[in-house]
Structure formats: C-alpha cells, structure tokens
Amino acid sequence: MPQITPTSKIVIVGSGVFGISTALWLARAGYTDVSVLDMQDTAAAGYDPLSGIDSASADLNKIVRFSYGAEIEYQRLATEAAGLWGEWNREVEGAEEGGGGEGRLWWNTGFLRMSASGELGAFEIETLRNMEKEGIREFQFVCDDDADIARAKERGWAHKLDPCRRQERFGSHKAVLDSTAGFVYAYKSCAWAQHLARREGVKMVLDPVRGKVVDIASGGDGRPVVATADGQEHVADLVVVAGGGWTPSLIPEVQDLLETTAGSVATVQIPRDRADLWERFAPENHPVISWGSREGKEVYSLPRDENGVFKIGWRKTKWTNFQDVRGNRISVPKTAHVTEEKETRIPLEALNGIKEYIALNFPELTPLGISSTRLCWYTDSIDNSFVVDFVPGRPGVAVCSGGSGYGFKFLPVLGREVVKILEGKGAETVYGRMWRWRGGGEDAGGEDGDGDGESGIDGRRNGLEEGEQGPRVLAKQKMAEVEDWKFT
Ligand SMILES: Cc1cc2nc3c(=O)[nH]c(=O)nc-3n(C[C@H](O)[C@H](O)[C@H](O)COP(=O)(O)OP(=O)(O)OC[C@H]3O[C@@H](n4cnc5c(N)ncnc54)[C@H](O)[C@@H]3O)c2cc1C
C-alpha cells in the first residue's frame, strides 16, 4: 500500500458516483494532483443518458432512502448523506454554474412499499420492528392502520398513502409509506458533484480516446502506469479504478468479488396536455413506489420528471453478458451507445413484469404504452457490500466499486470514507472493514436494489457463482421489441 502525500499523483478511472465522489473528497482533504479519466464526456453531456452517456450513474433519477433495517452502518452513512443532500439542494438552487438554477436535486417525495399479495411480508414487519427500536417508526405509515393514517393526515402525507387507489379497486391495500425517503435527479447530481470537484482543483480528462484507459500496468519503479487509447502512458503514485460495470474488465482479479450485471428499466411518456396524469404523477403528489418485493414481482417506479418521463424498473433478475477480455470470460456492459455491441432492448420477461405492474396499478397509463427501454449496468459484489481497497499484488492500484444497486444515494459522502481507505486507515474504520478486499462466503451486510433492503443473498456469493452457465445470461433471453411496448 503506497503512502500518499498531498502532492502524490492520483489518477481516478471513471467519473461516475464512485469516482467523482472520491475525487471531490481527495481534493477536499488537500491532495493537489488528482485527475479523473473517463472514456465518456460526462461534462459535455451533463451525465444525461438521453445525450449518449451510458453508466449506472448517468440516469434520470435514483431512489434515496435512509432507513436500512438492521444494516446500521449503511443507515448511518445514508443519514449523513441526507444532511449533505439538503445542503446541495440549497447550494444548487442559488448557483449559476454546475447546473445550478435548474431546480433541486433531492426530492423528499416519500417511498411507498406496496405488497402485491394482500399481506405485509415478514421482512416488512421486521423492518418496522427495527424502526420502532431505533425511534424512527413515527416516520413510517402503515397504510391501513388507523393511528398511522391519522398521523399521516396531520403531517401532510395522506395523499400519498394509496396513489394507485388499491383500496377502492381491490378492497385491500397493504403498504408502508416511508416519509423520510424520495429520489434524486441522478444526472444533475453527478454534474453538480463534478462541478464541485473541479472547483476544488480536480483535473478532468473526459474523452473517448484521451480519457479511455486501456491498460493498468506496473512500471519499472513499482509505480502504476495507466495507458490510454491515445497511446499515452500516465505514471501515477495511486490509481483508483472506479469504472462501474467496466471495473472487472480493467482489473480481472476483482471478478471473484464483483460481477457486472444489468437491471431493466422502461419509461412511459406522460403528455403535458393530459393535466390529470401530469398532476397525479408529479413529485408533489406521487411517491416513489416499490411493488411485490420479496413476492416475486420486484418492480419500482419514480414520479414523473419535468418532461413527463415516468420511470419503472424491474429488478427481479439482473442479467449478465460474458465476453472474452484478455483471455478471461468476464461479464461486461452492453449498452445503447458506448460498447461495441449495442443494446437498447430489455428481456421480454422484464418488460412483461413492468407491464403487469402498470396494468394492475396504473391502468390509466396503458393507452400510452411503453416509450423507451434501457439496460442499466451495475457491479454486484459477492455480499452486496461495496469493494474499496488496494488490489493484492498490484502496488498503488485500488478499486472503488460494487455499488450493487444502492450506491447512488451516498454520492455526497462516499468519497470521505474512500479517502480514509486510500490513506491506509481502512482497517481502523467501519467502512474500511466492510468494503475490504475479501474472499467468498461472507456477508458484509449489503443489500440488493433500493426498494426494500432485500439482500438476495444468504451468506454465499450473490449469484456470482453461476457464471456463464447460469440462467441470467442476456444472450439466452428473448428480447422485447418495440411491438411489445403496447398493452393489449
Ligand atoms: C438499474 C439501476 C438502478 C439503480 N437504482 C439505484 C437507486 O435507486 N438508488 C441508489 O442509491 N442506487 C441505485 N443504483 C446504484 C447506483 O446507480 C450505482 O451504485 C452507482 O451509480 C455506481 O457508480 P459507479 O461510479 O461505480 O459506476 P458508473 O456510474 O457506471 O461509472 C463508471 C464510469 O467509469 C467510466 N469508465 C469505465 N471504463 C473506463 C475506461 N476503461 N476508461 C475510462 N473510463 C472508464 C465509464 O465511462 C463511467 O462513466 C442503481 C443502479 C442501476 C444499474
């Protein structure tokens, strides 16, 4: 592990949440020579997926929740992030640069966890019990509990208890509204973080050739050398690989710890002239929703954005895409713009799950049909906890990844903990121990997706053990075509 000094040359690969937050906090900690390389011009495109940026962070919006059930360490970090999201909201609204003036980043819309079965699941009941113990139960409203309904009314949350009118339509509505949660505009948040990092002196090389890292080797003096696609070699004191879904292809050793997988996302375009729908799905009136978590449905949606885009995600299965990477078979992203092989479709199974969610819960949207689909590539870790540590056998090279479907919300604070690890103090910190390089078979206490604190693991390997033989391989799926977007 190198001892870094304030003038050490530090190169970060990737300007997503993990890379940009690390860069920001390194600069804040007094490191003066920090550069971020990215093969995508996230600055010019403002991280907007509609402008051709493909990454987990470059998305319309992401769910933010601060309650993590029994996972107290993530809960604490999320609570700290909450304070910083509030600060960023105040700063960004008054700012003229970095996307300032375009409205707030973080929206406390509430998060409704709806059962698909007519009963609250055991996990939900357990979560409520934990919240009781931690003194935060009062912010949760069980939607058919009279005392909770009365409290929701008092606190202005009653209109979000049953946005799908399930009680009226099905005679039963089993759900819990978490009034502390909501969502952030993801692309705007990353652009703001990048602006803050630049302001602190971080250099950015965001370019498909000059910023594209093709190799990370060890130089003659033992320092790492980063080769970029323009033929340049950058000798550094420390290289931090925060390449999201591309991390295992850059650092193949990490494939025992991390796997690149895709979640399935679709949108419905709500027309502005449909005033009824426009109002109903606005963040002021509509919460983030998850439906049927741990009941085999695993769907979530977020309120419409200012352009009327209503985003729905399906996370029951995360897809893999194995390719040859320098003699290894590694799952790598297959995206709409950046990768050699392009993909804008999602598997039909995922689309059908999303359509079922819409048809049952929002039948008034069915005439509009689906408007777009997208695969969004994560890095899942063996135990769903992040991986931030030095790579064994590679002096001066660290990885910073493994967001596993819930890393976004930590953007404002994540880098602070990463810096401690890069400074060699990982073993002394809670997060350093949780995110260390580790072997299989351990559960460091992470979660899967952002809906319900579902682990998806039982102390094993989170599906990584399946490999290319497993059923989640993208090439084995029937993909949904545009004709499938209509509801019949
Ligand atoms: C479908 C989906 C839903 C999610 N929902 C939520 C949610 O609701 N709430 C939440 O908190 N989190 C959520 N997450 C998780 C969150 O989005 C991720 O944890 C986080 O964005 C990961 O950031 P990252 O920096 O690791 O990777 P990325 O955002 O993928 O960034 C990686 C960057 O590295 C660059 N790069 C890669 N290879 C190279 C190279 N060779 N040279 C140069 N640059 C390179 C890429 O261009 C990219 O910009 C979700 C993720 C997905 C996929």
Q: Categorize the per-residue pLDDT at 449 as very low, low, confident or very high, splitting at 50, 70 and 90.
A: very low
pLDDT of residue 101: 60
Whole-angstrom CA distances from 458 to 96, 212, 434, 441 are 48, 37, 17, 9
Mean pLDDT (the chain, rounded): 92
Q: Is residue 327 part of a domain?
A: yes
Rounded to the nearest whole angstrom, what is the distance from the C-alpha of residue 399 to the centroid of ligand 1?
14
Q: Which residues sit opposite 114 in a β-bridge? A: 175, 291
Q: Which atom of ligand 1 is nearest to the CA of 407?
A: 19
Residue 56 in contact with ligand 1 by CB distance below 6 A:
yes
Q: How confident is the model at residue 455 (pLDDT cuts 50, 70, 90)?
A: very low
> Which atom of ligand 1 is least distant from the CA of 214?
41
Summarised one tens digit per residue, pLDDT across range 272-313 is 999 999 999 999 999 999 999 989 999 999 999 999 999 999
How far does the centroid of ligand 1 lie from the alpha carbon of residue 403, in Å?
7
> Is the CB of residue 413 less than 8 Å from the CB of residue 193?
no
Pocket-testing residue among 450, 452, 454, ligand 1, by greatest number of atoms within 8 A of Cβ: 450
Atom of ligand 1 nearest to the CA of 265: 1
CA-wise closest residue to 189 among 374, 76, 75, 20: 20
Helix (H, G, I), strand (E, B) or coil at 238: strand
Q: How far apart are CA 376 and CA 406, in angstroms?
A: 13
CA of 72 to the centre of ligand 1 (A): 24
Is residue 360 included in any domain, yes or no? yes
Residue 124 has pLDDT above 80, yes or no: yes
Atom nearest to 401 CA in ligand 1:
26
Catalogue the E-assigned strands of 52-149.
Answer: 61-64, 106-107, 111-114, 140-142
Q: How far apart are CA 340 and CA 342, in angstroms?
A: 6
Ligand 1 close to Cβ of residue 451 (< 6 A)? no
Count CB neighbours of 253 within 10 A: 15
Residue-wise pLDDT tens digits, 146-197: 999 999 999 999 999 999 999 999 999 999 999 999 999 999 999 999 999 9
CB 399 near ligand 1, within 6 Å: no
Tell me: pLDDT of 442 over 60. Answer: no
Alpha-carbon dihedral sign for residues 238, 244, 250, 255: positive
For residue 319, tell me if it sits in a domain: yes
> Which residues are bridge partners to 479 per DSSP?
347
**Which one of 20, 51, 57, 247 would you pick to mutate in the ligand 1 pocket, going by the greatest count of ligand atoms within 8 A of its CB?**
57
- Nearest residue (CA) to ligand 1, atom 25: 16
CA 251 to CA 103: how far, in whole Å? 38
408-434 mean pLDDT: 97
- Determine which helix (DSSP H) or strand (DSSP E) holds 213, and give its type and residue range: strand 213-218
Q: Which of 11, 13, 25, 55 to mutate to test the pocket of ligand 1 (most atoms within 8 A of CB)?
A: 55
Ligand 1 mean position, distance from CA 374 (Å):
14
Task: Note the pLDDT of residue 450.
Answer: 54
Residue 143 — pLDDT band, cuts 50, 70, 90? Answer: very high
352 occurs within a structural domain:
yes
Atom index in ligand 1 nearest the CA of residue 37 equals 43
Least confident of 25-39, 110-124, 176-190, 428-442: 428-442
pLDDT in tens, 191-225: 999 999 999 999 999 999 999 999 999 988 999 99
Which atom in ligand 1 lies closest to the alpha carbon of residue 400?
A: 26
Identify whether 165 is part of a domain: yes
Bridge partner list, 218: 224
> DSSP class of residue 270?
P
In a domain, 196, yes or no: no
**Distance in Å, CA 136 to ligand 1 centroid:** 30
Ligand 1 near 196 CB (within 6 A): no
- The percentage of the chain sitting over the pLDDT mark of 90, rounded to a whole number, equals 81
CATH of the domain at 278: 3.30.9.10
The distance in angstroms from the start CA to the end CA of the chain is: 59
From ligand 1's centre to the CA of 101, what distance in Å?
25
Residue 83 has pLDDT above 60, yes or no: yes
DSSP category for residue 309:
E
Question: Would you say the CB of residue 246 lies under 6 angstroms from ligand 1?
Answer: yes
Q: Is the CB of 38 under 6 A from ligand 1?
A: yes
Confidence grade of residue 405 (pLDDT, cut at 50, 70, 90): confident
Report which protein residue has its CA nearest ligand 1's atom 44: 38
In total, how many domains does the chain have?
Answer: 1
With a 6 Å cutoff on the Cβ, whether 318 touches ligand 1 is no
Q: Phi-psi region for residue 274, left (φ > 0), alpha (ψ -120 to 50) or beta?
A: beta
Top pLDDT among 82 and 462 is at 82
Q: What confidence score (pLDDT) does residue 456 get?
A: 39
Averaged pLDDT, 373-398: 95
CA distance 138 to 81: 21
Token duo for residue 429? 């910190």
321-335: pLDDT as tens digits: 999 998 999 999 999
Structure tokens at 153: 């009314």
Q: Is 244 in the pocket of ligand 1 (CB under 6 A)?
A: yes
Residue nearest to atom 4 of ligand 1 (CA): 405
Greater model confidence, 68 or 184: 184
User: In angstroms, what is the span from residue 90 Cα to ligand 1's centroid?
Assistant: 25
Pocket of ligand 1 contains residue 353 by CB under 6 Å: no
- Domain of residue 130 covers 111-180+260-379+478-485
Beta-carbon contacts of 142 under 8 Å, excluding residues fewer than 6 positions away, are 120, 128, 148, 175, 176
The CB of 480 under 6 Å from ligand 1? The reply is no
pTM, two decimals, is: 0.95
Report whether pLDDT(458) > 60: no
Per-state percent for the chain, helix, strand, coil, to nearest 5: 35, 25, 45
> Which pLDDT belongs to residue 241?
98
Q: How far is the CA of 475 from the centre of ligand 1 (A)?
A: 22
What is the predicted pLDDT for the residue at 158? 98
Half-sphere exposure for 37 (CA within 13 Å, toward CB): 26
Q: Is residue 16 lining ligand 1, measured as CB closer than 6 Å? A: yes
CA distance 131 to 416: 27
Q: For the chain, give me the number of helices (H) and strands (E)?
A: 11, 22
Can you tell me which residue has the tokens 């809960």? Answer: 75
Nearest CA to ligand 1 atom 39: 243
pLDDT at 94 over 90: no
* Residue whose C-alpha is closest to residue 163's, from 355, 373, 313, 310: 310
Any domain includes 50 = no
Give the separation between CA 197 and CA 21, rounded to whole angstroms: 8
**How confident is the model at residue 100, as a pLDDT?**
60
Quick check: is 296 in a domain?
yes
pLDDT of residue 464: 79
